[in-house]
Amino acid sequence: MAAERIDGKAFAEKLRERVGAQAAEFEAVAGRKAGLAVVLVGEDPASQVYVRSKHKATLAAHMESFEHRLPADTSQADLLALVEKLNTDNAVDGILVQLPLPDHVDEQAVIAAISPDKDVDGFHVTNAGRLAVGQSGFVPCTPLGCMMLLTDRLGDLSGMEAVVIGRSNIVGKPMAQLLLDANATVTIAHSRTRDLPGVVRRADIVVAAVGRAEIVKGDWLKPNATVIDVGINRLAPVEGEAKGRLVGDVDFAGAEGVAAAITPVPGGVGPMTIAVLLRNTLVAAYRNAGMDPPENSL
């Protein structure tokens, strides 16, 4: 039987609607809209697309969007000065500096300058630490979105074997932490892992965040595994195509016959990221206004 397709697009739309309704309630009690500031340095085409979609999604969710587009030669000092200004601006609840930054800017220094209470991307070392020790903070949007899809489908993850492939600070590590917090037995695999197929075969839950097209094959999977494919890879165009196809890190056709459920690419994890960013911004707004976020803001 073919695996169920986990419809991240539909889930994300519902989450955005819910956040939008709660953002309207926030405005009614706080007397101002929740606000997200997005900083883009330079003209990287992919970053421009992301920033534009974040702007539109923020406005659609009944929040204020502050866009700061700076030239590629902006100095690190000027960028840090802008971040400092946003840190103290009461209309701004969340700050997102679009990565990658130009080579002359130290990304870590910029992330470190963002107030942890406005760090809605969850990249600040304080928020990584909070996640590690189980305190509430901000969790990076992509892994949190994956976690929402998993718990929506599987409910209680206690005791399940989970394998996360990839150990980046923005996906793999926080994903593993979230799964551990949910009482899964977690293995983190990476480029030095021996016998990756053997490791993956143990897993009830596979999260692939590698960035290598279709590296995970169907016959690596345990029958009835749940597969979350974070990878976004563009194949080289074949004849007749202007652009190559987008594929994930999992060989979808091969996996479909073995897994119980799998996220497609596109339309799986991708749409969750912006929806969770809006959710994090709303939570930041409540906290910054000295109020508890609504219980069901997940």
Active site residues: 54, 98, 121
Between 177 and 196, how does the x/- string for binding to ligand NDP read (CB under 6 A)? Answer: ------------xxxxx--x
Give min distance, CB of 230 to ligand NDP, in A: 4
C-alpha–C-alpha distance, residues 229 and 149, integer Å: 11
Indicate the residue among 111 and 189 with the shorter CB distance to ligand NDP: 189
| Residues making up the chain, counted from first to last | 298
Number of Cβ within 10 Å of residue 28's Cβ equals 8
Residues between 227 and 246 that touch ligand NDP (CB under 6 A): 230-233
- Tell me the residue number closest to ligand NDP, measured at CB: 168
- Within 127-166, the residues that bind ligand NDP by CB under 6 A are 142, 165-166
Nearest CA to 281 out of 73, 35, 47, 91 is that of 35
Task: Provide, rounded to whole angstroms, the least separation between the CB of residue 33 and ligand NDP.
Answer: 25
Query: Strand 161-165 relative to strand 64-70: parallel, antiparallel, unpaired?
Result: unpaired
Task: Note whether 168 binds ligand NDP by CB under 6 A.
Answer: yes
Quote the DSSP letter at residue 253.
Answer: H
If one asks whether residue 209 binds ligand NDP (CB under 6 A), the answer comes out as yes
Least Cβ distance, residue 209 to ligand NDP (angstroms):
4
- Which of 92, 140 has the CB closer to ligand NDP? 140
Distances (CA, A) of 106 to 87, 126, 140, 264: 19, 18, 20, 35
Per the CB < 8 A criterion, the answer to whether 161 and 185 are in contact is yes
Give the chain's end-to-end CA distance (angstroms, integer). Answer: 32
- The answer to whether 167 contacts ligand NDP (rule: CB under 6 A) is yes
Q: How far is the CB of 265 from ligand NDP (least distance, A)?
A: 8
From the list 144, 181, 176, the residue with the least C-alpha distance to 278 is 144
Q: Does 201 bind ligand NDP (CB under 6 A)?
A: no
The least CB distance from residue 292 to ligand NDP, in Å, is: 28
Q: Does 120 bind ligand NDP (CB under 6 A)?
A: no
Closer of 64 and 268 to ligand NDP (Cβ): 268
Taken in order 10, 12, 14, 16, the sign of the CA dihedral is negative
* Complex with ligand NDP: residue 86 or 146, whichever CB lies closer: 146
Bridge partners, 188 (sequence order): 164
Q: Which of 65, 273, 280, 281 binds ligand NDP (CB under 6 A)?
A: 273
Q: Any idea what the Cα angle at residue 93 is, between residues 49 and 19, rounded to 5°? A: 70
Using CB under 6 A, count the residues that bind ligand NDP.
Answer: 26
Beta carbon of residue 248, minimum distance to ligand NDP (angstroms, whole number): 8
Residues forming beta bridges with residue 223, ordered by sequence position:
none
Residues with Cβ within 8 Å of 4's Cβ and at least 6 positions away in sequence, in order, are 260, 261, 262
Residue 210 sits in the site that holds ligand NDP (CB under 6 A): yes
Of the candidate residues 270, 282, 286, 293, the single one contacting ligand NDP (CB under 6 A): 270
Q: Specify the residue, 222 or 287, whose C-beta has the smaller distance to ligand NDP.
A: 222
Enumerate residues 6+ apart whose C-beta is below 8 A from 194.
none
Distances (CA, A) of 102 to 93, 115, 170: 25, 22, 19
Residues at the interface with ligand NDP (CB under 6 A): 142, 165-168, 170-172, 189-193, 196, 209-212, 215, 230-233, 269-270, 273
